[in-house]
Amino acid sequence: MIYTVTFNPSLDYIVDVSEFKTGVVNRTTGEKIFPGGKGINVSIVLKNLGSQSTALGFTAGFTGNEIERLLEEKGVDTDFISVSDGVSRINVKLRSDEETEINGQGPGISEDNINELYSKLDKLDENDVLVLAGSIPDVMPSSMYMDIMKYLSGKNIKIVVDATKNLLTNVLPYGPFLIKPNNHELGEIFGVEIKDKDDVIKYAKKLQEQGARNVLVSMAGDGAVLVTEDAQEFKAEAPKGELKNSVGAGDSMVAGFVYGYLKTNDYKQAFMYGVCTGSASAFSEELATKAEVDALLDKSKEIF
């Protein structure tokens, strides 16, 4: 079974406004509401590809109930912990002449709530995959990802981490199965400018030296790189298509990689699925569907 963790899920409210102006009443020309959060995105894309997962995390209040309802509507299994302090956040994306985002804070999460999460993680074994993705709310320990990996060490669970800076580097001694920084985040970790895919490979190997088993690096329009635990190196240019929505593309890449690896047990195939799934989401208003991913795989074979 695949499990994803989203510590601070959201309702993402996306509104289109023609020529937005401050200080006056603006009316929308279009609006959408989605369940949001990096781990949730991974679960949705896995479901779209035909692989079931269970979404873990914390929800609260009427917004939390709506997040769960929307995920149930999409066929995603959830096992969220309901907390009593506050409500799950609403993130607003305003699309006009410019894009503006306003992200909510989210609920309070207590030590008892965190202990309940550990109780759920106790059920995982070596046949399971755990995806830890996104930021940590201020109300939780900043070491949360590292604490979880330390807690689960020795159980041979394949743990995937998609996070930034210290959240990512702190988990490396515990041997994550896969980490997925982007090229800018990779440069920030080492205080360097990443100029090309050879630079990516060089610094991805340094992350392996610190404990990561496989390093998948997304490079937006410049493609992606994978360095594997068995010393394979894969590079790909970005598939061709019209960029419509970059939100969730990185999460989709993670979902595609996990899906491809579990399906084929082959790193090259996993890389191909990851790249094409990430791109399929970028070329769509919503997250990638299996038909969109399969179509990109068929027409993008020459880039691998």
Band of residue 245 on the pLDDT scale cut at 50, 70, 90? confident
pLDDT tens-digit map of 133-153:
988 888 899 899 999 999 999
What is the spatial distance between Cα 131 and Cα 258, in angstroms, rounded to a whole number?
Answer: 9
pLDDT at 99: 87
Which has the closest alpha carbon to 178: 255, 103, 108, 121? 255
pLDDT tens-digit map of 15-35:
999 999 999 999 999 999 999
- The torsion angles phi and psi of 241, rounded to 5 degrees, stand at 175, 170
Percent of the chain with pLDDT over 70: 100
Band of residue 243 on the pLDDT scale cut at 50, 70, 90? confident
Is the pLDDT confidence value at 103 over 90? yes
Is the pLDDT confidence value at 282 over 90? yes
DSSP 114: H
Is the pLDDT confidence value at 131 over 90? yes
pLDDT at 246: 79
Band of residue 230 on the pLDDT scale cut at 50, 70, 90? very high
Architecture category of domain 3-20+28-106 in CATH: 3-Layer(aba) Sandwich (3.40)
Which has the closest alpha carbon to 259: 27, 68, 53? 53
Is the pLDDT confidence value at 221 over 90? no
- Within 10 angstroms of residue 125's Cβ, the number of other Cβ atoms is 11
Helix (H, G, I), strand (E, B) or coil at 244: coil
Active site residue 251: yes
pLDDT at 303: 84
What is the spatial distance between Cα 72 and Cα 56, in angstroms, rounded to a whole number?
Answer: 13
Active-site position among 128, 162, 199, 251 = 251
Percent of the chain with pLDDT over 90: 88
Band of residue 294 on the pLDDT scale cut at 50, 70, 90? very high
CA dist 195 to 184, 211, 222, 238, Å? 10, 24, 11, 16
- The torsion angles phi and psi of 109, rounded to 5 degrees, stand at -125, 120
Domain layout of the chain by residue ranges: 3-20+28-106
Band of residue 229 on the pLDDT scale cut at 50, 70, 90? very high
Whole-prediction pTM: 0.94
Is the pLDDT confidence value at 247 over 90? no
Band of residue 228 on the pLDDT scale cut at 50, 70, 90? very high
pLDDT at 15: 94
